[in-house]
Structure 1
């Protein structure tokens, strides 16, 4: 009798374990991801998530760092990487703009798995007396040479106020660090960046001081103008960063960084299991960096984001009850934009097979704008 009870209990335990195992996410035994350079926020967060996947699912992940957008995208497009941890270059890649306006690139068929909210705004030197976006007119605004990811956001913020780059004194700096330091050095009065750049803390402690220029959350016309530049932004009340706190917040724009990106033809079930793993293992990585807690799936798995969501990701969010009709409409519209641009690119290359370099980029930008206006 005692042996029978023991056996019955053991069987019950086995079934319980099997049930739990069946409900857990299932990942490939190995994966390769690309990410920003070692030391970057994107690489740090990719590493923390990879470590969590290893602990939870015994999956070995190789992270391939790259300092350029092409370096992060090429392995994904060629199939040598399974996923990429990207930023705004994912939007540029689907638009065929900047680095992706070359004949061998054009609009790429990318899909988002998830992407955590990150914030971006306009820090100014307090002594420059810049209180509103309109006050930027005629002021020295630091831009970064060869960094479209930063500069397009700055242009979008100016557009919010009905301004163009020509309306400010755009000062171009060779590196992001130099642009951030320019405010302390009194070589610029404002710039555009994330809230935790080390140079901003130096500005906060300097004689100039720091003031974040407010981007009003309730200005619908301003947001419409901003999203004409890039339809990927939303309002966010930020309390983390230089000069920011619960008592002194600032309204700025939210975008996604890092974004976990897959090719459109990635197996739907595999992507479903990936985002499920990201959600299930959240407690294992949520404290790894200052902002990684923003990977909570209810924030990271929904639009707006730079590119359309993958069907596997959408299926998981639907099962979680976190995907709405409005979100599906957004995704359908974003996908329609991508498909229209892909067709327009193919048409342009067929019409002018000898077009290359800057001439191609200029002709494509004009065609791209025509497509966007017609949507």
Structure 2
């Protein structure tokens, strides 16, 4: 009797264990995925929710959007507790290579990621107030700039890339720290900083503009891109047309993509179906946010990617005739990084 009782207890424990673990372990198998984004209300959260809606509607794949940044998401992708991440292309490269803030997390090995698609372009620059009198980067020599944004790798990289594109380096300015853009703007409002970094359309910049006689995004030059690319190959110059707050004329800004990436062992057909759904219905993203009008199929494949593409995505792109020899060369280059 004792042996039978113990066997029953053992089987019961196994059953309980399976019940507890099954929501995490079988998420992909059941057609339910988890995507890490950022806090509720952030651009990345909105973008992730839009992608989730399109894939659920047209591919039958449900996605749970998790309001957490890549610092929390990437380790969970390694354990298959999260399947996808919405991430800036520059930060993605540092995560893949195990550099910057990800070096300690991975002991320099990096997180193994696979790109499903490059998304909308995000232009950014150093921002000054309308009453500051600053008109270009050279005027910022010796001034106080917020360049250190803690664990926000994309901001840390972008702020420095924009500074270099403008012809300056960290040695030319006084470097300040802030946890995020709202805190950096507060320092600017209080007169404790002279310039901050941020993208077009950041909500808190509207408040800054109203309080400080407008804002100005400083223009990147065209002479320093080799130095910019030493930070990341994710960046490219893009002309932003006059109109948005802070863009008083057509202005060239440092730009990079936001990407949808996955864990490398996401099933090939799942990756294929996600890409197919968004490719065929990219026009359904725009109503969720004006910037998602720029999340279009023509930019899903790009040599500026900082991590290799998923085989399922490549299969679809080859069928569409958009996977070139140059893309395959870039793919091979990125894959070799993990073999060093």
Specify the TM-score bucket, using the shorter chain as the normaliser: 0.7 to 0.9
| Partner residue in 2 for 1:353 | none
2:186 is equivalent to residue 184 of structure 1: no
Q: CA deviation at 1:104?
A: 4.8
- 1:205 pairs with 210, 215, 226, which one? 210
Q: Secondary structure at the match of 2:198?
A: coil
| Partner residue in 2 for 1:298 | 298
The two structures, once aligned, show a CA RMSD in angstroms of 2.5
| Partner residue in 2 for 1:275 | 275
The answer as to whether partners of 1:140 and 1:170 remain within 8 angstroms in 2 is yes
Distance in 1 (alpha carbons) for counterparts of 2:94 and 2:207: 32
1:40-189 alignment to 2 at 5 Å?
40-66=42-68, 68-87=69-88, 88-102=90-104, 104-105=106-107, 106-116=109-119, 117-146=121-150, 147-189=152-194
Q: Secondary structure at the match of 1:305?
A: coil
The answer as to whether partners of 2:113 and 2:261 remain within 8 angstroms in 1 is yes
Distance change (3 Å), C-alpha of 1:176 and 1:207: closer
Q: CA deviation at 1:28?
A: 6.7
2:314 is equivalent to residue 314 of structure 1: yes
Distance change (3 Å), C-alpha of 1:103 and 1:232: closer
The answer as to whether partners of 2:149 and 2:178 remain within 8 angstroms in 1 is yes
1:3-45 Cα distance to aligned partner (Å, 9 max, x none): xxxxxxxxxxxxxxxxxxxxxxxx9732222221211111111
Distance change (3 Å), C-alpha of 1:207 and 1:51: closer
Q: Secondary structure at the match of 1:121?
A: strand
The answer as to whether partners of 1:53 and 1:281 remain within 8 angstroms in 2 is no
The answer as to whether partners of 1:125 and 1:203 remain within 8 angstroms in 2 is yes
The answer as to whether partners of 2:129 and 2:212 remain within 8 angstroms in 1 is no
| Partner residue in 2 for 1:8 | none
Distance change (3 Å), C-alpha of 1:264 and 1:59: closer
Q: CA deviation at 1:292?
A: 1.0
| Partner residue in 2 for 1:339 | 338
The answer as to whether partners of 1:181 and 1:199 remain within 8 angstroms in 2 is no
The answer as to whether partners of 2:271 and 2:313 remain within 8 angstroms in 1 is yes
Q: Secondary structure at the match of 1:47?
A: helix
Distance in 1 (alpha carbons) for counterparts of 2:276 and 2:254: 28
| Partner residue in 1 for 2:256 | 255
Distance in 1 (alpha carbons) for counterparts of 2:206 and 2:240: 16
- Residue correspondences, number: 307
TM-score calculated relative to the size of structure 1: 0.74
Higher mean Cα deviation, 228-237 or 154-163? Answer: 154-163
Distance in 1 (alpha carbons) for counterparts of 2:188 and 2:251: 19
Q: Secondary structure at the match of 1:48?
A: helix
Structure 2 residue runs of 5 or longer lacking an equivalent are 1-28
Structure 1 residue runs of 5 or longer lacking an equivalent are 1-26, 344-375
Structure 1 residue ranges, 4+ long, deviating more than 6 angstroms after superposition: none
